[in-house]
């Protein structure tokens, strides 16, 4: 029983979806509650101005010490300040959706929630919705029902902007996931992963056998592979939107600006590559991954694990393969496996310790061949105020940071 979630416009446990659509109707702006929700008296609301160096560091420190951990509290996500600036300021971002809570007496930042605007399609409906992320309450203030107040406040601020749907993901199960994906991990630095207790040496193996098993090539092998440039945005947008159209939930990149923001390389944040056909100079393939280190909790030797996460990718299916669904699948598996093999090489060159991916999109086609193994974490996908049928992991085309 969920005292808070029971009151919210989300699919309740056991409810069937007969028709997709909103749960609550949209409300005109002048009928939206104009005052912020009340906080317990020792706290006050603030907008975190992440363009201000002092405030982005306060947010970074709150999250570094208090954000998501794995089930055994061995690792904690350590989103960098440049990453947070990128993640929270896409085209159309709003300062009023970077919501903080401070202690009134000393102004210490103790809680946060954010929204960013996004165009996301579920089945046949295109939503201009809010993507919610970075919900965090300081460890010392847990279980005091602050999270529901943060959620209601970002909902109110979303309604004020005329947005009545949201998308969010989480490790925990709430009412009610539209999809559940599993994390997979590909070791790049097995020795360090073992020293951090991220992975173990199997009983029938040794460290040196593992080092050998997870070696990758020195250089990528796909002809025409190069870093993406902002000038590639138009072609990447077309290629990616077309590829994403086959999934049941996926973003729509509506402008070249969106593509430049999310998918052009950003140092230390996002890594993006294209394959330019050596003859026609057309872009035929694209892939990207992002940097998200984790703090290693209570380890004497290692303080941080440097992880790359698979982000968006797309391949062009040549006409002769596209004519037949069997040939399409075979081509996709082959082409993707070779591209992702190169992604691993590039990630290794950039000194990542591990390459992570979820079993969404077409990732299952290369996960085994490229020696990814299942992790102990799952990621649940949610839509707020929208009834939506269950979606299988391989039909999920949305990646949230
Ligand atoms: S998921 C990562 C969330 N953050 C963390 O896990 C960081 C570490 N944990 C914490 O900081 C990515 C705290 O434990 C948090 C909860 C703050 C998580 N989502 O204050 P109370 C996101 O950011 C419910 C949703 O006492 P707490 C996505 C819980 O079920 N609800 O707990 C965020 C319970 O309700 P119930 C969550 O431990 C999406 C109530 O909160 C939740 O001190 C947000 C307990 O509150 C979670 N991850 O603080 C929803 N974790 O009904 C957006 C707990 O079961 C919805 N709860 O009694 C859409 C809004 C926009 C709509 C626009 C139209
Ligand atoms: C919203 N955008 O559980 C974010 N990570 O598997 C919130 N496990 O790293 C969503 N427990 O399996 C948060 N090693 C959900 C994820 C929370 C973080 C999380 C998991 C994902 C993880 C590692 C470490 C486990 C430590 C003990 C794990 C095994 C790797 C091994 C490599 C070799 C092949 C077999 C698997």
Q: What is the ipTM of this complex?
A: 0.99
Structure tokens at 240: 């990616």
Please state the atom number of ligand 2 nearest to the C-alpha of residue 354.
32
pLDDT at 14: 87
- Residues in the ligand 1 pocket, defined by CB under 6 Å: 2-5, 66-68, 130, 132-137, 142-148, 151, 154-155, 158, 163-166, 168-170, 172, 174, 384-385
Homologous superfamily of 5-170 in CATH?
A: Gcn5-related N-acetyltransferase (GNAT) (3.40.630.30)
Residue nearest to atom 41 of ligand 1 (CA): 147
Residue nearest to atom 7 of ligand 2 (CA): 170
Does the fold of domain 180-377+391-395 match that of domain 5-170?
A: yes
Question: Domain residue spans in the chain?
Answer: 5-170, 180-377+391-395
Nearest ligand to the CA atom of 401: 2
Please tell me if the CB atom of residue 375 comes closer than 6 angstroms to any atom of ligand 2: yes
* Cα 234 to ligand 2 centre (Å): 35
**DSSP 8-state code for residue 382:** E
Angle CA 194–197–200, to nearest 5: 55
Homologous superfamily of 180-377+391-395 in CATH?
A: Gcn5-related N-acetyltransferase (GNAT) (3.40.630.30)
Nearest ligand to the CA atom of 160: 1
So which residues are the catalytic ones? 401
CA distance 50 to 95: 8
pLDDT at 284: 98
* Cα 23 to ligand 2 centre (Å): 33
Please tell me if the CB atom of residue 400 comes closer than 6 angstroms to any atom of ligand 2: yes
* Cα 154 to ligand 1 centre (Å): 12
Cα–Cα distances in Å, from 322 out to 223, 282, 326? 22, 18, 9
CA distance 395 to 287: 18
Please tell me if the CB atom of residue 380 comes closer than 6 angstroms to any atom of ligand 2: no
CA distance 198 to 215: 18
CA distance 346 to 352: 9
Nearest ligand to the CA atom of 23: 1
Contact between 157 and 96 (Cβ < 8 Å): yes
Please tell me if the CB atom of residue 357 comes closer than 6 angstroms to any atom of ligand 2: no
In a structure prediction context, what are the per-residue pLDDT tens digits for the chain, which is 401 residues long? 999 999 999 999 989 999 999 999 999 999 999 999 999 999 999 999 999 999 999 999 999 999 999 999 999 999 999 999 999 999 999 999 999 999 999 999 999 999 999 999 999 999 999 999 999 999 999 999 999 999 999 999 999 999 999 999 999 999 999 999 999 999 999 999 999 999 999 999 999 999 999 999 999 999 999 999 999 999 999 999 999 999 999 999 999 999 999 999 999 999 999 999 999 999 999 999 999 999 999 999 999 999 999 999 999 999 999 999 999 999 999 999 999 999 999 999 999 999 999 999 999 999 999 999 999 999 999 999 999 999 999 999 999 99
* Cα 147 to ligand 1 centre (Å): 5
- pTM of this structure: 0.98
Cα–Cα distances in Å, from 265 out to 41, 227, 271? 44, 8, 5
Nearest residue to 164 via CA among 179, 154, 150: 154
Structure tokens at 210: 């593992």
């Amino acid at each position: 029983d969920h005292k808070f979630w029971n009151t919210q416009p989300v699919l309740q446990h056991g409810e069937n979806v007969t028709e997709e659509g909103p749960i609550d109707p949209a409300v005109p702006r002048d009928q939206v509650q104009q005052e912020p929700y009340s906080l317990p008296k020792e706290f006050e609301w603030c907008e975190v101005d992440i363009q201000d160096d002092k405030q982005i560091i306060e947010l970074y420190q709150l999250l570094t010490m208090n954000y998501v951990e794995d089930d055994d509290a061995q690792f904690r996500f350590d989103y960098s300040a440049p990453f947070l600036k990128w993640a929270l300021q896409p085209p159309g971002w709003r300062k009023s959706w970077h919501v903080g809570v401070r202690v009134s007496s000393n102004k210490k930042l103790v809680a946060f929630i954010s929204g960013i605007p996004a165009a996301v399609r579920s089945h046949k409906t295109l939503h201009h919705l809010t993507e919610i992320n970075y919900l965090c309450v300081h460890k010392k203030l847990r279980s005091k029902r602050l999270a529901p107040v943060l959620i209601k406040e970002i909902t109110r601020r979303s309604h004020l902007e005329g947005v009545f749907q949201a998308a969010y993901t989480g490790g925990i199960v709430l009412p009610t996931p539209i999809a559940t994906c599993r994390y997979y991990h590909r070791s790049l630095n097995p020795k360090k992963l073992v020293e951090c207790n991220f992975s173990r040496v199997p009983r029938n193996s040794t460290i040196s056998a593992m080092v050998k098993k997870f070696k990758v090539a020195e250089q990528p092998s796909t002809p025409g592979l190069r870093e993406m440039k902002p000038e590639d945005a138009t072609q990447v947008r077309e290629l990616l939107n077309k590829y994403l159209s086959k999934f049941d939930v996926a973003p729509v990149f509506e402008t070249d600006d969106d593509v430049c923001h999310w998918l052009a390389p950003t140092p230390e944040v996002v890594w993006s590559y294209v394959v330019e056909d050596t003859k026609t100079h057309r872009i035929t393939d694209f892939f990207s991954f992002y940097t998200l280190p984790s703090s290693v909790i209570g380890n004497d030797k290692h303080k941080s694990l440097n992880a790359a996460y698979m982000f968006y990718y797309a391949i062009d299916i040549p006409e002769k393969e596209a004519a037949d669904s069997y040939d399409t699948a075979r081509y996709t598996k082959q082409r993707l496996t070779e591209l992702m093999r190169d992604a691993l090489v590039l990630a290794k060159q950039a000194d990542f310790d591990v390459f992570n991916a979820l079993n969404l999109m077409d990732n299952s086609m290369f996960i085994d061949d490229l020696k990814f193994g299942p992790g102990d974490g799952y990621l649940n996908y949610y839509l707020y105020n929208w009834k939506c049928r269950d979606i299988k992991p391989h039909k999920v085309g949305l990646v949230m940071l």
